[in-house]
Structures are given as C-alpha cells and as structure tokens.
Amino acid sequence: MSQVLVIAEHAGGKLNVSTAKTVKAAASLAGAEIVVAVFTTAGSPVAAQAAQIAGVSRVLEVTHASNDHQLAATLAPQVAEVGKPFTHLFAPSTTFGKDLMPRVAALLDAPQISDVMSVESESRFKRPIYAGNAITTVEVAAGTKIIATIRTASFEAAAGGGNAKVESVASGVTLPSHTRFVALAAASADRPDLQSASKVISGGRALASADAFKLIYGLADKLGAAVGASRAAVDAGYAPNDMQVGQTGKIIAPELYIAIGISGAIQHLTGIKDARTIVAINKDSEAPIFEVADIGIVGDLFTIVPELEKLIDASRK
C-alpha cells in the first residue's frame, strides 16, 4: 500500500488551498494512506485546518522556530527526515513546492517528477511538456521512493469534513545556518490570491500603459476577481511580475477567466488552459485567444470594459 506524505503550504496561519488539491491528487492512488505534514511554529492553527481535509488519515505537526518563514533551505532537511518512511512525497507545484522539493529529492537521493497533472498508478504519472502542447507519461521502477510536485490547476480541492488525528513530531535534524530570513516584500493582499481565485481578469499589452491598466483593477473590484497580466504587459511595465500568467508565470484554473487586450500567445494559453470558462475581449478578430475562448467579444476594450461595469452596476440596483 502506498503511503503518501503531503507537504502543507501555508502562510499567515492559513492553509493554502493548494494543499487540499495535492491531497486530491494523492487520493488517485487507490488505497493509499494520506498523511499531511505541517511544518510550523508552536501554537499555529494550520495543523487543525489540515486535519479537516477529507481523505487525510493523520496530520504530522513539526514545530520549530525556523519554520515561521517557510524557507526551503531549512524546511528541506525536516521534510527529508519525516518523509523517510513514506513511498511518495507530494507538494503543490507552486513557488513553495518548486523551491522545496528538489532539495528534498537531493537529500533523499530520490527521483523527482515535476508538475504532475494525472496520477495513473503508484509509479506512472502524466505531466505537460513543450509549454503544454504535449503530455508525457513518466514511469519509475516499482518500489522507488517518489518525490513529486502536483500541478494544482489539474485537480479540484479535496472536500472538507475530515477529522484526522494530529500528531506532534519532534525533529532532531541539524538545520543549515547559512540561510536566514531577512525581510518580506509582498504585494498588496486586498484582492483574491491569483493562483486560488475563482475569478481572474487579466490585461495585456493592448492597454498601452500602466495608467490604463487601472481599467482591469476597476472591473476586477466589481466582480471580486483577482488580477493577472500577460507577459507582454509585465515586460512593458504595466503590471508587476507577480501578476504574470502563463508558462513563465502562474498556472491558474479559475471558474471564470477574462482576458482583456491579450492576443493569446502559446505561453499565455499554457497558463489558462484549465480555466472552466474563458472570456476574451480583443479588437483583432483573428487573435489566437479566440480559438480557446468560450465567449469572445470583438471590439475596443476601452469602450467595452466601461460598458461592462455599467451593466454590473445596473444588475445590482
């Protein structure tokens, strides 16, 4: 029987939804025991939150003062120590998981499979290659310990309602001292998180300036949506790079994705292909974005977006 250790991602005392999606991926292994490891500081509520995820049999709470800031360099030795008895170690394929899991794989001398989008069996997985234009099947020898990052856009979050037992685990591993937390510079959190939001509105180069990009913010605020941007918009300085959606940015899977002034380069489409409904607004009727859009509006975004806002306001009266 497979024993899967899911590494919890959390911040500010809150469990990230990426953890529940990783649990859902682990549940694809029939009969697997799923254990969530929470690396935190004493008194954190995160372990109790992880215990509520359906399908989780146990939660291992590993506390250490260094875990307050979730640094990969100090987490990796702890994960490797706790993960030794497990057949599979899973983490979300987010910035957190991508930074952490290669270090764990090196410490355990185990193979890593990145960006898993389908779990076929204990040793067979599918992942995207060539910017998502092809899917490859990866298989490792039976009995091999597997380290994997899970493409969260490919999995729904596991349901709540669980009641797993929380166990405290003492870590005796020596942590590296060459890495330390200095400061955190984070973007404003007054909007939903881009990677977990159910609605996302992104702007492209057609907006032509950072000032015009405020149109995107205004519409997003009315819809309660997160804000993204194409690489072209980011490179042009219209939006910060943490908002970039696409192959070299964030891979997302919202219920609703609205692309405004985005032509639809393959790198961008790679990041949104798992969105449930895609709406495109572009004055170029031949733009590639319309090939994947469920709803397409051909026209001047500077005319259409204000009209959409008026309709939203009118529907709420």
Residue 188 lies in a domain: no
Examine the domain organization and report whether 19 and 129 are in the same domain.
Answer: yes
Q: What's the CATH code of the domain at 308? A: 3.40.50.1220
Reported as a pLDDT band with limits 50, 70 and 90, residue 160 is: very high
Examine the domain organization and report whether 131 and 234 are in the same domain.
Answer: no
Task: Give helix 214-223 / helix 301-315 axis angle, nearest 10°.
Answer: 20
Examine the domain organization and report whether 94 and 142 are in the same domain.
Answer: yes
The β-bridge partners of 88 are 4, 146
The whole model's pTM is what? 0.82
How far apart are alpha carbons 132 and 117 in whole angstroms? 11
pLDDT tens by residue, 5-14: 999 999 889 9
Residue 81 lies in a domain: yes
More confident residue, 184 or 142: 142
What mean pLDDT is predicted for residues 42-61? 94
φ, ψ at 112 (rounded to 5°): -115, 140
Instruction: Select from 103, 107, 187, 216 the least CA-distant residue to 149.
Output: 103
Reported as a pLDDT band with limits 50, 70 and 90, residue 90 is: very high
Examine the domain organization and report whether 129 and 203 are in the same domain.
Answer: no
Instruction: Select from 52, 57, 259, 29 the least CA-distant residue to 122.
Output: 29
What residues make up the domain containing 275?
199-315
Does the pLDDT value for residue 280 go beyond 70?
yes
Quick one: pLDDT at residue 187?
A: 64
Residue 16 lies in a domain: yes
- Tell me the helices (H) and strands (E) count for the chain, helix number first: 8, 17
Examine the domain organization and report whether 160 and 205 are in the same domain.
Answer: no
Examine the domain organization and report whether 150 and 92 are in the same domain.
Answer: yes
Does the pLDDT value for residue 316 go beyond 90?
no
Q: Please identify, among 151, 169, 187, the residue that sits at the C-terminal boundary of a domain.
A: 169
Quick one: pLDDT at residue 65?
A: 84
pLDDT tens by residue, 178-227: 888 888 776 666 788 888 899 999 999 999 999 999 999 999 999 999 99
Residue 181 lies in a domain: no
Examine the domain organization and report whether 222 and 296 are in the same domain.
Answer: yes
Place of tokens 């397409």: 296
Does the pLDDT value for residue 62 go beyond 90?
yes
Angle (CA) 180 171 17, round 5° = 70
Examine the domain organization and report whether 144 and 220 are in the same domain.
Answer: no
Q: How many domains does the chain contain in total?
A: 2
Does the pLDDT value for residue 80 go beyond 70?
yes
Q: What's the CATH code of the domain at 51? A: 3.40.50.620
Mean of the per-residue pLDDT values for the chain? 92
Examine the domain organization and report whether 9 and 108 are in the same domain.
Answer: yes
